[in-house]
Each structure stands twice: as C-alpha cells, then as structure tokens.
C-alpha cells in the first residue's frame, strides 16, 4: 500500500480539485493506495523572509511559526507526492510558490529519495507547459523520482469535446503514474547525477563545518564517504566521473 499526499495550490474546490479526485479514483482502481489531499489555502504559510536560517542552522530555526514544517513532515511520511496547481499568470499559484520557497532547505539537504512525484496543472488557455517543466525540474533535486505532469483545460463554458479530452488525459496520467510507482525506487543514477552529487558534497565538505546544518546533514548521512546519495553500482566510468568531480570541486 502506497501513501500519497497531494498538495493543491488552488483555494477553490474547482477544476484542480476535481482533477485530483478524478486522478485518485482512477489510480485506486489500479493500485492499493491511501491518500490525503491538502489544500494549501487551509493552512498558514507565511512568505519566506529570506533570512537563510533554514539553510544555515536548520529548518527548526525558521523564525516563522506556521504550518509549513508539519506539511513538510507529511511529504516525508509519503511514498509519493503530487503537486497540483492552476496556471496563474503563466506560473504556479502564489500559495504553491510560497510553500516551495519555504521548503527550499530540502534543495540543500535532499531527503525524498525512494519517493515518487508528479504534477497536475489546470489552466484556462495557455502557458502550462512551462509549469509542468518547472515541477519536473524541481523534483529530482529534492530527491524524488519524477514523472512529467498532466495539463488540463478549464476555460468555461467547457465544451463536451474538451471535457472528454480532459477525461482521457487524466485517466492516462493515472495509468502512467500507476506504472511509474512500480519502477525502481532507487534507480541507477546518470553520470550527471553522480557529478552533481560529488561536486556538491565535496564543496560542502571543504567549505563548511559542523556549524552548518548542510554539513551536519551530509555528515550524518555518511555522504562525504559515499559514491552517491543512496547505494548505487557505479561502473568504471561512473567511478571515474565521481573521482574527477571530487577533484574539480576540491580544487575550484
């Protein structure tokens, strides 16, 4: 049984919410799941003030006392996470962006390895392609295995043809996500993945110390000595790429 948490960036129980429900009802036919839908507008999420205390001292040092850390905990406790957002001014909703800003310490200290991610985007007319790319771009640095999201149209009145197209798309996306959940939770990393890991861990090791939350996190995870974030078989070339990346980061 996989537990899925869906974060919705719309304050309405409108098209995004209905798309989430439709997606889940289809997914339930294919996989045993439990789930929670979280409307971000039901929670207090203050704007990030940019103090960087979460980066430097740890997320517990955030001066804003609101619901963000309990929402982040729900991500940690899930096997899969879905971000659903309407297109607002050619980007995600402000509520969703505030949430992402506030959990940005996870880009420094990624922790969602072995978990799956996708997105659902709803729009009146145009521009959601970039939103889908954005979600797919931010998920791997957080540790997630990411499946590109689905885009649905919602300009009212919705002609029958568009309704049917939306229905086909959401069913297809639920099927794709069900298959995605069966893929290895810890896939073999690409050379770029290895390179990025080795450069960041070597930089953190050489430039920071125990006073830094990032350093302490990497140390606790044993990442200064590891080939990759999680056990992965690197071939001879992968090991060489790792070695060179360590050398490059250590010397630059």
Ligand X SMILES: Cc1cc2nc3c(=O)[nH]c(=O)nc-3n(C[C@H](O)[C@H](O)[C@H](O)COP(=O)(O)O)c2cc1C
**Which residue in the shown chain puts its C-beta closest to ligand X?**
14
Residue closer to ligand X by CB (options 124, 148) is 124
Residues forming contacts to ligand X in the complex (CB under 6 A) are 10, 12, 14-17, 86-90, 122-127, 154
User: Which class for 207: exposed (0-12), middle (13-18), buried (19 or more C-beta within 10 A)?
Assistant: exposed
Q: What would the two tokens of residue 37 be?
A: 């839908």
Least Å from the CB of residue 10 to ligand X: 4
Least Å from the CB of residue 200 to ligand X: 34
Residue 178 phi/psi, 5° resolution? -60, -45
Least Å from the CB of residue 131 to ligand X: 9
Give the chain's largest Cα–Cα span: 61
Residue closer to ligand X by CB (options 12, 247) is 12
- Rounded to 10 degrees, what is the CA torsion of 59, 64, 66, 69? -10
DSSP string, 138-173: HTGGGT-EE---EEEE-PSS--HHHHHHHHHHHHHH
Give the Cα separation of 42 and 8 in Å (integer). 10
Residue closer to ligand X by CB (options 39, 198) is 39
Q: Cβ distance 143 to 111 under 8 Å?
A: yes
Least Å from the CB of residue 110 to ligand X: 29
DSSP category for residue 114: T
Least Å from the CB of residue 155 to ligand X: 7
Residue closer to ligand X by CB (options 54, 120) is 120
Residue closer to ligand X by CB (options 7, 144) is 7
Residue closer to ligand X by CB (options 151, 249) is 151
Alpha-helical segments (H) within the chain = 15-30, 53-56, 68-76, 94-102, 105-108, 128-138, 160-181, 191-207, 213-221, 236-251
Least Å from the CB of residue 11 to ligand X: 7
């Amino acid at each position: 049984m996989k537990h899925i948490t869906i974060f919705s960036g719309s304050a309405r129980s409108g098209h995004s919410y209905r798309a989430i429900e439709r997606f889940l009802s289809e997914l339930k036919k294919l996989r045993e799941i439990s789930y929670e839908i979280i409307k971000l507008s039901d929670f207090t999420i203050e704007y990030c003030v940019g103090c960087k205390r979460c980066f430097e001292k740890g997320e517990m040092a955030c001066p804003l006392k609101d619901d963000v850390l309990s929402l982040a905990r729900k991500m940690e406790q899930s096997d899969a996470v879905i971000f659903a957002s309407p297109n607002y001014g050619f980007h995600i909703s402000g509520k969703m962006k505030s949430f992402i800003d506030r959990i940005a310490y996870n880009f420094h200290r990624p922790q969602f390895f072995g978990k799956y991610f996708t997105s659902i985007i709803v729009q009146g007319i145009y521009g959601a392609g970039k939103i889908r790319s954005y979600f797919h771009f931010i998920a791997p640095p957080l540790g997630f295995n990411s499946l590109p999201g689905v885009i649905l149209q919602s300009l009212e009145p919705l002609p029958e043809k568009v309704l049917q197209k939306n229905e086909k798309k959401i069913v297809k996306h639920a099927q794709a996500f069900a298959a995605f959940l069966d893929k290895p939770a810890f896939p073999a990393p690409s050379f770029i993945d290895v390179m990025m890991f080795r450069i960041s861990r070597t930089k953190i090791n050489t430039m920071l110390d125990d006073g830094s939350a990032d350093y302490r996190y990497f140390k606790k995870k044993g990442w200064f000595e590891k080939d990759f974030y999680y056990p992965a078989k690197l071939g001879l070339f992968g090991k060489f790429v790792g070695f060179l990346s360590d050398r490059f980061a250590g010397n630059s």
